[in-house]
Amino acid sequence: MTEFFRLPPSGIKVIIVGTGFGGLCAAIECNRKGHDVILLEKVAELKPLGDIISFSSNSGHIFERWEGVVEKLEPIIHHSDGLSFHDWKGNFATKQVWGDEKQWGRRINGHRGEIQLTVFEHAKARGIDIRLGQRVTEYFETDTEAGVIVNGERLTADCVFAGEGVKSAGRKIVLGFEDRPKPSGYAVYRAWMSSEELAKNERTKHLVNNGDSHSGWIGEDKHFLAAAIKNGKEFSWVLTHKDDADIDEDWQFPGDKEEVKRNLEGWSPVVHDIVDLTPPDKLVDYKLVFRDPLPTFISPKARIALIGDAAHPFLPTSIQGASQSMEDGVTLAITLEKSGKDNVPRAIRAYEAIRYERVHRAQMTGVTTREQWHKADWDKIWKDVKSLHLKREAWLLDFDAETHAYEVVDDVLKKLDKGVTVKTDSLSEPTPAATNGIQAQLAQEIDQLA
Ligand SMILES: Cc1cc2nc3c(=O)[nH]c(=O)nc-3n(C[C@H](O)[C@H](O)[C@H](O)COP(=O)(O)OP(=O)(O)OC[C@H]3O[C@@H](n4cnc5c(N)ncnc54)[C@H](O)[C@@H]3O)c2cc1C
């Protein structure tokens, strides 16, 4: 039987809402640090839904601490050495190789549902109290406890983490009003399928017949990314494009191949063949919504914390949403460990202080990457093809949330005890101006998207 690392019981009771990567990671990390967790999820059964998701080295460290998880993921994740870029017509431009990044940690790219189920099974094996089919409808807090109404029942704990994604009901108690999701101005067509037909096609077989591969085609206001996985046996592609549909919520529905091909007029025959060979029932049209950045992630009495997309929705182009949601849980588990049961609000405030600036900086990279590709001036790019490369920044990726939280938590708690408002991960003097600057810049960038 696997022995799991666990600190002695802290006596702290935590309710966590949502079994996305935010909620699952928070549950596992709280369990590791000795806290008692109830994890609530509205769906009755977790199914391996979705398609490709990428975790960078910053979350690789987190997976690695969970006994046996990386070993289970290894056979099902993507294993290419780099990303080959082409222009939209199909001319090869450059290959970005990940070799140098290996020293930063492990990258994990694969099927969202398969990775999530592996993590879910790990949480179950740890004996975490996971309750499926539990829809949370309300949050509340007092000076001494916090809780939720779930399926009509009142549950209480020392604190609650709201990790129900972009449509979070927990935002209401933090904001004091209900905010609306806003269209991002973009949508994605996505597919995950068997590679069998691609392997028989002259123009696409090179993508799947030599093991895993990763390729991108970049054009004005659009990019098309494709990955072969499981030694080339399965294939996933994503087309990000402008979309001005007026939507209320995140939504997805079956995609229309003819519409996808209209979007790709004048593009490489390779991408057209990929679309043609996609089984219609595997194609999804997914509208991307966003929310304005929040001034805070925590409730007025600091017993409820928003985590993951509930606190900070991410554009897929940042390739960081899931990783950042995991960093939230790691940090909270440690601030609770260091503050103790009698000082839970102090821990929740420290979580926000440690995470706020970093997560907003990470959010901005999604806009930057997309604009870098969609507004590419190809005359310039052919003179400097590496300008297409994804920016892989050490501050973001060469980072271990656990090490960082342990390094800064005492200092943050001391500052909070002195009544200093801290919202920075740099731990320089409190930087309200810098923080407001980031928030304003992000809001402006998001406005420009629509
Ligand atoms: C198209 C697309 C591609 C992406 N690609 C990447 C990528 O490659 N890499 C990356 O890092 N990020 C990516 N992201 C972002 C990433 O998916 C999210 O940032 C991340 O999954 C957020 O996790 P979460 O746990 O906060 O929320 P979610 O994954 O949304 O999970 C929320 C959970 O809460 C449950 N829930 C909701 N309401 C309730 C309720 N009332 N009661 C109980 N349970 C509830 C839901 O059923 C769900 O299980 C992508 C996003 C999109 C839209």
pLDDT digits (tens, 9 = 90+) for 400-419: 999 999 999 999 999 999 98
Q: What is the largest CA-CA distance in the chain?
A: 68
Quick check: 90 and 142 in contact, CB under 8 A?
no
pLDDT score, position 351: 98
* Structure tokens belonging to residue 209: 């017949």
Distance 193 CA to ligand 1 centre (A): 21
**Coil, strand, or helix at residue 95?**
strand
What values do phi and psi take at 199, rounded to 5? -70, -20
For residue 321 and ligand 1, the question of a CB distance below 6 A is answered with yes
Helix/strand/coil for 188: strand
Q: Per-residue b/e over 125-143, b at no fewer than 16 CB within 10 Å?
A: ebebebeeebbbeebbbee
Segment 310-313 long-range contacts (CB within 8 Å, at least 24 positions apart): 310/18, 310/22, 310/162, 310/163, 310/164, 310/165, 310/166, 310/168, 310/170, 310/171, 311/359, 312/359, 312/360, 312/363, 313/166, 313/289
- Cβ atoms within 10 Å, residue 99: 8
Query: Do 147 and 140 contact (CB within 8 A), yes or no?
Result: yes
Q: Which of 220, 187, 185 is nearest to 375 (CA)?
A: 220
Across 151-203, the runs of DSSP E, i.e. the strands, are: 153-157, 159-162, 182-194
Residue 425 pLDDT? 47
120 lines ligand 1 (CB under 6 A): no
Question: Does 357 contact ligand 1 (Cβ within 6 A)?
Answer: no
Ligand 1 atom 15 nearest Cα: 321
Closest of 303, 405, 390, 410 to residue 358, by C-alpha: 405
- Going by C-alpha positions, the residue among 242, 238, 236, 241 that lies closest to residue 224 is 238
**Structure tokens of 126?**
């740890």
Task: Write down how long the chain is.
Answer: 450
What is the distance in A from the centroid of ligand 1 to the CA of 237? 19
Q: Is the CB of 329 under 6 A from ligand 1?
A: no
Q: Which atom of ligand 1 is nearest to the CA of 310?
A: 26
Kindly state if the Cβ of 316 falls inside 6 Å of ligand 1: yes
Q: Which CATH class is domain 182-290?
A: alpha beta
* pLDDT value at residue 16: 98
pLDDT in tens, the chain (450 residues): 889 999 999 999 999 999 999 999 999 999 999 999 999 999 999 888 888 999 999 999 999 999 999 999 999 999 999 999 999 999 999 999 988 888 999 999 999 999 999 999 999 999 999 999 999 999 999 999 999 999 999 999 999 999 999 888 888 888 888 887 777 888 999 999 999 999 999 999 999 999 999 999 999 999 999 999 999 999 999 999 988 776 665 567 899 999 999 999 999 999 999 999 999 999 999 888 777 788 899 999 999 999 999 999 887 778 899 999 999 999 999 999 999 999 999 999 999 999 999 999 998 887 777 778 888 889 999 999 999 998 889 999 999 999 999 999 999 999 999 988 776 544 333 333 333 444 455 555 545 443
The Cα 226–Cα 175 span in angstroms is: 39
Q: Is the CB of 135 under 6 A from ligand 1?
A: yes
Nearest CA to ligand 1 atom 19: 321
Annotated active-site positions, please? 190
213 vs 166: CA distance, rounded Å = 31
Evaluate: CB of 60 within 6 angstroms of ligand 1. no
Q: Which CATH number is 13-75+110-176+292-449 given? A: 3.50.50.60
Predicted confidence at residue 250, as pLDDT, reads: 52
Tell me what pLDDT residue 70 has.
98
Tokens 């009755």 belong to which residue? 44
The CATH 3.50.50.60 domain(s) of the chain lie at 13-75+110-176+292-449
What is the token pair recorded at 107? 């990258």
Q: Which of 28, 39, 53, 160 to mutate to test the pocket of ligand 1 (most atoms within 8 A of CB)?
A: 53
Q: What are phi and psi of 196, to 5 degrees?
A: -50, -50
- Which among 126, 104, 110 is positioned nearest to 24, based on CA atoms? 126
Does ligand 1 lie within 6 Å of residue 21's CB atom? Answer: yes
Residue with tokens 């709280």: 30
What integer pLDDT is reported at residue 252 of this predicted model? 77
Say if ligand 1 is within 6 A of residue 286 CB.
yes
SS3 (DSSP) at 445: helix
Q: Take atom 20 of ligand 1 and give the residue whose Cα is closest.
A: 322
**Per-residue model confidence as pLDDT tens digits over 204-249:** 999 999 999 999 999 999 999 999 999 999 999 999 998 877 666 5
Question: Nearest C-alpha to atom 21 of ligand 1 is from which residue?
Answer: 322
216 backbone dihedrals φ, ψ, rounded to 5°:
-135, 145
| Structural contact between residues 228 and 235, judged by C-beta atoms closer than 8 angstroms | yes
**Which of the listed residues 51, 164, 390, 397 should we mutate to test ligand 1's pocket, taking the one with most ligand atoms within 8 A of CB?**
164
Closest atom, ligand 1, to C-alpha of 43? 47
Q: Taking a C-beta distance cutoff of 8 angstroms, is the pair 70, 164 a contact? A: no
Note the helical H segments in 149-278.
170-175, 196-200, 205-208, 257-263, 269-276
Atom of ligand 1 nearest to the CA of 190: 1
* Cα-based distances in Å from 141 to 11, 163, 175: 19, 17, 14
CA of residue 303 to ligand 1 center, whole Å: 22
In this structure, the residue with its CA closest to atom 2 of ligand 1 is: 316
CA distance 151 to 127: 23
Residues of the chain with CATH 3.30.9.30: 182-290
Angle at 423 (CA atoms; ends 417, 429), nearest 5 degrees: 75
Contact yes or no for 254/205 (Cβ under 8 A): no
Q: Which two tokens stand for residue 277?
A: 């060979």
Atom of ligand 1 nearest to the CA of 307: 26
Task: Answer yes or no: is the C-beta of 449 below 6 A from any ligand 1 atom.
Answer: no
What is the CA(407)–ligand 1 centre distance, in A? 28
Give me 101's structure tokens. Answer: 């990044």
Q: Is the CB of 149 under 6 A from ligand 1?
A: no
Q: How far apart are the first and last CA of the chain?
A: 52
